[in-house]
Amino acid sequence: MNPPYPIRFSLFLALLCLALFPPAARAGKSPAVTFESLLAEMADPAAVARLPKPEYRSLQASSYNRESVHRDKPGWFADSDGLGFIRETDVAGRHEWVVMEHAGPGCLTRIWTPYFYYDLANHTGPNVRIYLDGSETPVLDESLIELVTARGSIKNPFATYTARAGDLYLPIPFGRSCRVTLSQKPFYHILNYRAYAQGTEVQTFTRDSISRATSQMDRTGRILTAKPSATPGNLAEYSTRNLPAGHSLRLNLQRGPRSVTQFTVTVPDIIKRPSALRSTVLVFSFDGENTVWCPLGDFFGSADSLHPFHTFQRTVTAAGEFIGRWPMPYRKSATLEVLNLDKTPIEVRLEARLDPWEWNNRSLHFHANWRPDEVVPGTPFRDWNFIDINGRGIYVGDAWTVLNPQKNTWWGEGDEKIYVDDAWDAGFPTHFGTGTEDYYGWAGGVLPTRDDEFSTPFLANIRVGGVDGHTEGYNISTRTRGLDAIPFQTRLRFDMESSFGTDIRNPWNLLDYSAVTFWYGTPGARQNRPPQSDAASAPIPTLETLRRQSESIRQRVGIKP
């Protein structure tokens, strides 16, 4: 039945305003943060390509060694970092150790711990108890190890066993406060969380949150783990049978505003010519800024040879397909280019898929930057810099490549130290970790082997050595960030301790490092990793070349091997 006419015009305008501009939008207020909204954010690849709304700080609590108090004071490289905690307390007659606490609205985004507790045979450990908004009744109270390894109440992909460790990615929002405790003396642990500004509306997590959102959790899990497929959107494609030495294959994309939702580089003969992984370089420009300059292999965790793996943002197939799914928005123009720095031609195919994009003052350009190989001796210890960014943006991941020349040795004792905004001037990082492999979501305890390689939506141990199944050779790990992404207002600096472990700090012990960082920035953001054409065109280091350097150091200092 048609409505009676005439409609009162004032009522019509009121209804139209309510539809187009709900109260929160008219007031400029961000919508409430809920368990459901965080699940939706996890499943949306484009979420990290915009400045967050509501804004938040990304913080970390860990068991780092409390002897480390300032970058310029003794104890900075104290690596006994599995025992730290905040304080002890008693709750309802129980003695507990506090490992994280925050006053104000926020959200737990990730919890990591090894799957053993002081003893490699103890796979149960203490109970973790999460108290929200001042309640003395924990919203979660169960074995920490079982929780993070998907043997407890949370299942894959929100909790995952990796290699001797587990990672919980279930978002746990809170409106007023959060305190996390353990029922036994703490061992290695890392907790990432968001801190929203006071006044931000956050709906506190309850156990009912999971039952109410079961279907959404299922949908989010399918999106996070799905294999690449043809995605909706316009297709811009160019292919060549023969890319000559020194030449490039370029796609000048459709005028914006648009976003690259997926790009694919196919190099069919890469298995026969692994050296091309370093000399084939991705060069991407958006709105006149070169924001990506990175060797193809390093971008995809395959610096030395082809390593198939699959995460939410990147996939490498055994057929030589390299697929990237980070959204790359631009306002007006974009160019994707593959550059051949080798001395011989190579067959390359480049494809990009595009979608419309609403460009506004929250939109960001995608960046990927490479620091090439550097050989580092065992002493003196140092903080090895991945990147130093000046500007505003969001840090979303990295890949760490280590060439280890020695059998039966450990290379991953170093802690990550991430400085956000004014933290560098204060002399202490915003994120202080407990070990390189811990940062990448797995654990030591024993020397890793090829059996410890894995891929999950946000973590991958892509390669473990390769000589006789030990860590001798190339070791490659990567971590990307969703809800645990790190926004920065003026600066972000990422350092990793160069550390061989506390028992082999010798000058003749060498490791070869290289790294890639992934981040988004406002137009004009700057960093300290310019293009390195000479390094990309040079032969990739091998065990033989690294051992020769080790021998020369031994001879120079007069030490017998």
Of 79-88, 177-186, 362-371, the poorest mean pLDDT is in 79-88
Q: Which residue has the tokens 């409106």?
A: 175
What pLDDT is recorded for position 415? 95
**Residue 169 counted as domain residue:** yes
Residues 335 and 215 in one domain: no
Rounded CA gap, 391 and 386, in Å?
Answer: 16
Q: Do 201 and 270 fall into the same domain?
A: no
One domain for residues 50 and 178: yes
Q: What Rg value do the Cα atoms of the chain yield, rounded?
A: 25
Least confident segment among 325-329, 333-337, 470-474, 529-533: 470-474
Output the DSSP codes for 15-45: HHHHHHS-HHHHTTPPPPB-HHHHHHHHT-G
Predicted local distance difference test score (pLDDT) of residue 60: 98
Selection from 523, 529, 524 nearest residue 388 by Cα:
529
pLDDT of residue 21: 38
**pLDDT tens digit sequence for 121-152:** 999 999 999 999 999 999 999 999 999 999 99
pLDDT per position as a tens digit, 395-416: 999 999 999 988 878 888 899 9
Please check the confidence at residue 23 and state whether its pLDDT lies above 60: no
Q: What is the largest CA-CA distance in the chain?
A: 100
What pLDDT shows up at residue 80? 85
Question: To the nearest whole number, what is the mean pLDDT of the chain?
Answer: 90
Structural domain total, the chain: 3
How many Cβ atoms are within 10 Å of 119's Cβ, its own excluded? 10
**Based on the domain organization, do 409 and 355 belong to the same domain?**
no
Confidence of residue 25 (pLDDT cuts 50, 70, 90): very low
Q: Check if the beta carbon of residue 527 is closer than 8 Å to that of residue 376.
A: no
Let me know whether 546 and 515 are in one domain.
Answer: yes
> How would you list the strands of the sheet with 526-527, edge to edge?
431-432, 416-420, 491-498, 382-390, 526-527
pLDDT per residue over 268-296, tens digit each?
A: 889 889 999 999 999 999 999 999 999 99
Determine the Cα–Cα distance for residues 243 and 174; give it in Å rounded to an integer: 54
The range of the structural domain enclosing residue 266 comes to 243-363
Instruction: Report the alpha-carbon distance of residue 16 to residue 10 in Å, rounded.
Output: 10
Q: Mean per-residue pLDDT for 163-191?
A: 98
Residues 550 and 473 in one domain: yes
The answer to whether 362 touches 521, Cβ cutoff 8 Å, is no
Q: In the block, which residue shows the tokens 């090439």? A: 372
Residue 156 lies in a domain: yes
* CATH classification of the domain holding 120: 2.60.120
Kindly state whether residue 4 falls inside one of the protein's structural domains. Answer: no
Is residue 20 one of the residues assigned to a domain?
no
Q: Which residue has the higher pLDDT, 552 or 209?
A: 209
What is the pLDDT, as a whole number, of residue 79? 82
Is residue 77 situated within a structural domain?
Answer: no
Token pair in block for residue 361: 């003052």
| 218 burial type by CB count under 10 A (0-12 exposed, 13-18 middle, 19+ buried) | exposed
pLDDT tier, 174 (very low <50, low <70, confident <90, very high otherwise): very high
Q: Are 111 and 182 contacting, i.e. CB atoms less than 8 angstroms apart?
A: no
Do 358 and 426 share a domain, yes or no? Answer: no
> Are both 386 and 426 inside the same structural domain?
yes
Q: Provide the token pair at 204.
A: 């506190």
Can you tell me the mean pLDDT for 439-457? 94
Choose one of 308, 332, 363: the last residue of a domain.
363
Q: Please, which residues have CB within 8 angstroms of residue 349's CB and are 6 or more apart in sequence?
A: 239, 240, 264, 265, 266, 267
**Are residues 384 and 440 located together in one domain of the fold?**
yes
**200 in the same domain as 315:** no
Task: Detail the DSSP E strand segments found in 378-464.
Answer: 382-390, 393-404, 416-420, 431-432, 454-455, 459-463
**Of 334, 363, 392, at which residue does a domain stop?**
363
Which of 325, 340, 363 is the last residue in one of the domains? 363
Is 359 within the bounds of a domain? yes
Please indicate, yes or no, if residue 233 is contained in any of the structural domains.
no
Instruction: State whether 421 and 538 are in the same domain.
Output: yes
How far is the C-alpha of 32 from the C-alpha of 22, rounded, in Å?
A: 13
**DSSP assignments along 114-144, one per residue:** ESSBSBTT--S-PEEEEEETT-SS-SEEEEH
Domain containing residue 354: CATH number = 2.60.120.1390
Identify whether residues 350 and 397 lie together within a single domain. no
Predicted local confidence at residue 230, as pLDDT: 58
pLDDT at 409: 80
pLDDT at 504 over 70: no
The reply to whether 74 falls in a domain is no
